[in-house]
């Protein structure tokens, strides 16, 4: 091997190794996902507020918009077997919530059990 070939091999190796090194500004996948989820939640508009204002029920504990603004989850004080009231809350929320990317509503009991679920264009199911 000539000195010219050796220098070329050395420079090529150095360039490859430099390209593989991490930088101080690198973002880990977990950080990127967290930043994206925070931004998505902040950009979901006022869907949760609309549900709270429109659905007249003292049993609603919390309304959240999930995913990439595709689902509204309504946590209630209802018992896990009260699917009739859960469906009623779901139907009422469906009248105001299907805007933008939101395409489903989930109503949960105080224990976290699903009471009713609805999708845009269809009635809620218990």
Phi, psi of 124, rounded to the nearest 5 degrees: -70, 145
In this prediction, the residues of the chain whose per-residue pLDDT falls under 50 are: 24-41
Q: Is residue 49 part of a domain?
A: yes
Q: Is residue 105 part of a domain?
A: yes
Q: Find the domain containing 49 and state its range.
A: 45-119
Q: Is residue 50 part of a domain?
A: yes
Q: What is the pLDDT of residue 44?
A: 83
CA distance 58 to 78: 10
Q: CA end-to-end span of the chain, whole Å?
A: 78
CA distance 18 to 64: 45
Q: What is the pLDDT of residue 13?
A: 63
Phi, psi of 110, rounded to the nearest 5 degrees: -65, -20
- Number of domains composing the chain: 1
Secondary structure of residue 106 in the 3-state scheme? strand
Q: Is residue 35 part of a domain?
A: no
Residue with tokens 């299907």: 98
């Amino acid at each position: 091997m000539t000195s010219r070939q050796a220098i070329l091999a050395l420079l090529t190796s150095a360039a490859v190794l430099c390209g593989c090194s991490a930088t101080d500004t690198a973002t880990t996948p977990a950080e990127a996902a967290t930043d994206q989820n925070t931004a998505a939640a902040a950009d979901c508009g006022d869907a949760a507020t609309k549900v709270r204002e429109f659905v007249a029920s003292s049993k609603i504990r919390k309304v959240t918009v999930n995913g990439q603004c595709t689902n509204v989850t309504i946590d209630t004080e209802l018992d896990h077997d009260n699917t009739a009231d859960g469906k009623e809350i779901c139907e009422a929320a469906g009248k105001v919530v299907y805007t933008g990317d939101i395409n489903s509503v989930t109503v949960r009991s105080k224990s976290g059990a699903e009471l009713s679920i609805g999708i845009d264009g269809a009635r809620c199911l218990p």
